[in-house]
Amino acid sequence: MSDVPPSESASPEPTPPSSRIAANAEYTSKDLQHLSDLEHVRERPGMYIGDTTGRGLHHLVYEVVDNSIDEAMAEFATAVSVTVHSDGSVTVEDDGRGIPVTIHEQLSEEMDREVTTLEGVMTVLKFGGKFQKGAYQTSGGLHGVGVTVVNFLSQWCEVEVSRDGWTWTQVYERGIPQGPVTKGHATKKKGTKTTFKADGQIFSTTKYSFDTLYKRLQELAFLNSGVHIKFLDERNGESGDFKYERGILEFVEHLNRASDVLHSDVIHMQGSRDGVEYEIALQYNTDFTETVQSYVNNIHTIEGGTHVSGFRSALTRTLNNYGKKENLFKATTPTGDDFREGLTAVISVRVPHPQFEGQTKTKLGNGEVEGIVSGGVGEQLTKYMEENPRVAKTIVRKGLLAAEAREAARKAKDMLRKRKDALGGGGLPGKLRDCISKKMEECEVYLVEGDSAGGSAEGGRMREYQAILPLRGKIINAYKSREDKVLANEEVQSMIQAIGTGIGADQDLTRRRYNKIIIMTDADVDGSHIRTLLLCFFYRQMYQLVAGGHVYVAQPPLFRVSRGKERYYIQTEEEMKAQLLERGLADSVFEAEDGRRIEGEQMEKLCTTLAGIEDAITAMERRGISLKAHALRLDPETNRLPPFHLFVGAEDHWFQSHEKVEEYLSANNLSLDSEAEPAAEGEEGAEGDKAPEEAAGPSVYLIELHEVRTINSALKDLQQVGVGIDDLIPQERTGSTAPRFELVRGDDNRRSLEDLRELLPQVRAAGEKGLQLTRFKGLGEMNAEELRETTLDPSNRTLVQVNLADAGAADEMFRLLMGDKVEPRREFIEKHALDVRNLDV
């Protein structure tokens, strides 16, 4: 599975008619509502970024990075940096032209006030520079939607533009500008720097995956040769530094790093026609599988499209022509599939107006691209083979060997069909516990690890429409084995017979016996291994089944909650915390010694806001800056803490805005030292981030505490419920025995609090009262009844739908870990050794 947490609503169960809300019988103009751009994006974020889980969260970063890459594609930028800060905010900076900051006449007329182009880009949908060919010839962005949506879905966002010799800044909170664009200091730099914090009110998780971002940024560096991309994750200190002068040639070498190659050089082809540019790199290895990565304007087209079909037809035609010309074919003539065995290729095209099709919008549909790619590849590959006959013959002979294996696989398939006919009754495997229903649309089969787990699943299943197929041991590795060997595997034969669609090119989804194929394995090492093997098999042999969205992974819950005779299950740690908070809030009242009393909706808002700044306060304190000390710098007029820490030699100063920093620097004839580096974290005690002592002259550098912006945004919400930053800090109290704060639940249940930060743990503890929490480790700990409740019952279970990216990631993992070369495997193990949670020794 991919690193990004997938949507848990991937397999929605139908709502019972009795529970549906009746529509208003009187349909009048009052039932119609007009939403602003901002309101529509925040009400319907899934329309713009797909979902509000981990996938949508990471999409925010991709949108901002894509704008920087578009500048690089237009040859105006050479460097991009991405930083994930300790509070979860993200900064993306490039050295491109910078977003224009002058007044935009059209927008100003429409809004009846002066509006800069920068504000328009950040706050107006369908406003951008990618609708005409003047600013961008090709682009991977959302054409006037991307960065605006990022701003609208962020708790706060700041954009700093460097152009025309000056810096220009504007700050937004939940999409609303907090002031005009301000002019800063003089600079020789050019580019755009965007910092944003995803809004916890919108997203179910705001924690980014380092591996997911690392992989995408490295991919972009491969696809845009010469562009320097730097990545830093301040949460754990991990980083990446990517610059590939040879571009996709190095991408192919990277993909083949765990394989033995048939020829040392990577074959490279490129060209353009009618505004369409194509670049292709390929290399053969000794493996038995095909790996083709295709991209359109840097967008990964996992379902292929016309650029891929054009490449494949040219490859088959050219190799066939060469084989016939050299009289290499005797009894067998290889097919296109044969010639693609062991092929690793990267296809990158740039299309001015791409048209995508397919459910996931990742399949190119432009018909003209197929002919352009096919003609160009055919011509250049023919020339290469004539100039490199040894390599050409090696590739063709590889195809001949594949053709012989295909013939052996055909015989294996024939044997399967004969066995099916001989057995009668559909030729189903004997260990399949089939369901009663014959309606394919409602039927589902669970692929269960081991006979013992299969027994529990058998006892807990809904026999009417749920089938169980136990799998003994680990199935054959579909990546390292030829097709005939895979088909000879008993477990594989059982799956093929049970599912009924056939495999490979013969696969026919209309013949499937089940609408959902559900992988159910333990969460331990063996279970993960089996799950990955199955995903690899489906990706290689039942591609259409995955593409059609019929493969799922059962995701058992992490917690069982018991309360008397009632019992239910919680999926994640975050959900458990949220539920304890919700239960604890019932009838909870916050009382202060000074008479303040908070309850009801205000109490809920108070606790939700506190939950949103837990990580930010912790991150600031890890810098060595205590909340108590920093609160002394609060601006009483704006109720904000200063986020900018300026060091001038051994002195330090705090400022509320870039503008104030610039005023100080100008008044004291100072300029920022780009070479100066802050002291190591915590190096100099309680206040952190101190500058080194003066040497030849005072070093001047600036640190921006992004977590302070998150705290400032929350302080505004806290102010609305009648509390402030002083309430978050313990106070020395003399002469009073009464508690400073109390959490009151009922007449007799009162808990004393030293400060407001103690409120959340106490509310959660109150929510846990009367509950018995059990944390599961895996399916193996569940009996048939628990398995039915948690993983089989559609009203309780969580299914994760497998997409092509998930299956492709599993396949790539096996290529790395199961390849013939040791070094890539060793590097992977060394990199991830400290992340291991389950290890069999």
Element (H, E) at 605: helix 600-622
Q: Are 537 and 811 in contact (CB under 8 A)?
A: no
Beta strands in 681-833 (DSSP E): 700-704, 741-745, 749-753, 772-775, 799-801
Element (H, E) at 658: helix 658-667
Q: Residues 244, 247, 249, CA angle at the centre, nearest 5°?
A: 115
87 is catalytic: no
449 is catalytic: yes
Which one of the listed residues 526, 575, 652, 684 is annotated catalytic? 526
Rounded Cα distance between 405 and 485, Å, is 9
| Structure token digits, residue 52 | 């509000």
Q: Are strands 516-520 and 551-554 parallel, antiparallel or unpaired?
A: parallel
526 is catalytic: yes
Amino acid at 730: P
- Three-state SS sequence of 307-348: HHHHHHHHHHHHHHHHHHHCCCCCCCCCCHHHHCCCEEEEEE
Q: Which residues pair with 653 in a beta bridge?
A: 646
Which one of the listed residues 524, 621, 687, 793 is annotated catalytic? 524
418 phi and psi, to 5 degrees?
Answer: -65, -40
Q: CA distances (Å), 264 to each of 280, 383, 622, in order?
A: 17, 18, 49
Rounded Cα distance between 426 and 336, Å, is 32
Which one of the listed residues 449, 483, 786, 789 is annotated catalytic? 449
- Which sign does the torsion angle of CA 476, 482, 488, 493 carry? positive
Q: Residues 735, 736, 738, CA angle at the centre, nearest 5°?
A: 170
Of 656, 655, 653, 724, which Cα lies nearest the Cα of 178?
Answer: 656
Of 276, 184, 216, which Cα lies nearest the Cα of 59?
Answer: 216
For 48-104, the DSSP string reads HHS-SSHHHHHHHHHHHHHHHHHHHHTTS--EEEEEE-TTS-EEEEE-SS----SB-
Angle between helices 600-622 and 706-720 (to 10 degrees): 160
What are the residues whose beta carbons fall under 8 Å from the beta carbon of 687, sequence distance 6 or more? 624, 625, 629, 652
Q: CA distances (Å), 676 to each of 647, 651, 654, 691, in order?
A: 10, 14, 18, 9
What are the residues whose beta carbons fall under 8 Å from the beta carbon of 72, sequence distance 6 or more? 78, 80, 94, 96, 224, 227
> What is the Cα 168 distance to its own chain's centre?
31
522 is catalytic: yes
| Structure token digits, residue 735 | 């002469």
Of 453, 538, 454, 464, which Cα lies nearest the Cα of 495?
Answer: 538
Instruction: Return the number of other C-beta atoms located less than 10 Å from residue 254's C-beta.
Output: 17
Of 200, 270, 212, 269, which Cα lies nearest the Cα of 238?
Answer: 212
Which one of the listed residues 250, 303, 338, 522 is annotated catalytic? 522
Please list the active-site residues. 449, 522, 524, 526
